[in-house]
Structure 1
Amino acid sequence: MKYEKLAIPDVVLLTPQVFGDERGFFMETFRQSEFEEHCGNYRFVQDNHSKSKQGILRGLHYQYAKPQGKLVRVTQGEVFDVAVDLREGSPTFGQWVGAMLNEDNKQMLWVPPGFAHAFYVTSKEAEFQYKCTDYYNPGDEYSLLWNDATVNIDWPLVDGKPPQLSSKDDEGQAQGWQHCPKF
């Protein structure tokens, strides 16, 4: 596995070594000891799997009382995956990084606790899987608006059309990232 620190160094892009032949392929998707060496001492307690159609944007979600770290990957299709640093005092507070994750590159993104997270589906549909460092707590989930002007994410919108959002995400934190709970 190759571990690459992004512009926000705590966010890490993982690229597995893939062994393939005419029968298909094999790859290791997670090894605790290597993950701890490159990303930190975290333990995963929950795995999630979602499927979405093109133009769907899920997020920007974050948790305050029990923030979740997420190791995300795409097993079908393609998404643009984004992490926004909400850690008060961080030198990258309010900044974002993004990566295209798809079934061909098989890359994964480590999004540590204290970040807002979202993904936007660029393919016809996509299946998205992720490991979490804490359990989902519906009373502790917040949304930052996908198009917050202060964060200014450069989304690769299909045909320039606005994304399709859930009502919760559409009503996100309208005051901007600087008014989000601080970690």
Structure 2
Amino acid sequence: MEMQKTEIEGCFIITPKVFEDERGYFFESYNQKKLEELLGVRPNFVQDNESLSTKGVLRGLHYQQGEHAQAKLVRVIEGEVLDVAVDIRPDSKTFGKVVSTILSSDNRKQMFIPRGCAHGFLTLSETARFAYKCDNFYNVASESGIIYNDPTLNIDWMLPEEELIISAKDKELPSFKMTVPN
């Protein structure tokens, strides 16, 4: 397992060691001991989630507030997505930084997103099955988000705006400046 630092403090791209032969492939998608060694902290994942999306579906940018904040370990089981994290921790050295990377069933990369970051993804393939582990339970009263096309963040979603499929709820999310205290 290799880990690459990103521009966001505590956010990492993880590439597993894959063993392939004529029968197919094998890799560890999660190993608590190895992840703890790489991160220097021990996430206690308590919830696994999975979604299926079609091309152009943009989910995010979402996060949980306060005591219900969540760290996530995300990956793509089938297909390809553009995965995006935004540091919204006002006291962080990397506050306001955006990290994006391609996660796919071909590259098998994962992203570890620490608590205090907003997260979203855009499906680039015809369909994508997206899975993530969370270190805190979902709490509807603590959910929040940032509008996907926020001018301060200026995220390149890699598809034209007219091709994006966004929920009504996500279209109403506030801007970065309105969401995060300065």
TM-score tier, shorter chain, comes to over 0.9
Residues in 2 aligned to 1:113 and 1:16: alpha-carbon distance in whole angstroms: 22
CA deviations on 1:2-54 (whole Å, 9 max, x unpaired) are 01111224110000011011111110111112211222221100000100000
The aligned counterpart of 2:172 is 171
Equivalence for 2:137 = 135
Q: Which runs of 4+ in 1 moved over 4 A?
A: none
Moved more, 52-61 or 27-36: 27-36
- Residue 57 of structure 1 corresponds to 58
Tell me, yes or no, if the aligned pair for 2:90 and 2:180 is still in contact at 8 Å. no
**TM superposition shift of 1:135:** 0.5
- Give the structure 1 partner of residue 16 of structure 2: 16
TM-score, with structure 2 as normaliser: 0.94
Aligned residue-pair number? 179
Asked if the contact 1:81/1:98 (under 8 Å) is kept, the reply is: yes
Q: CA deviation at 1:179?
A: 2.8
Change in 2 beyond 3 A, CA 1:127/1:24: same
Structure 1 vs Structure 2 CA RMSD? 1.3
Map residues 41-80 of structure 1 onto 2, 5 A cutoff: 41-65=42-66, 66-80=68-82
Instruction: Quote the Cα distance in structure 2 between the aligned partners of 1:51 and 1:138.
Output: 21
Q: Could you tell me which residue of structure 2 aligns to residue 151 of structure 1?
A: 153
Residue 160 of structure 1: how far off its partner (Å): 5.5
Structure 2 gaps of 5+ residues are none
* Amino acid in the other structure paired with 1:121: T
> Cα distance, 1:161 vs. partner?
3.0
Matches of 1:89 and 1:179 in 2, distance apart? 17
Aligned to 2:101: 99
- Distance in 1, Cα, partners of 2:180 & 2:139: 16
Q: Please report how far the alpha carbon of residue 163 of structure 1 lies from its aligned counterpart in structure 2 after TM superposition.
A: 1.3
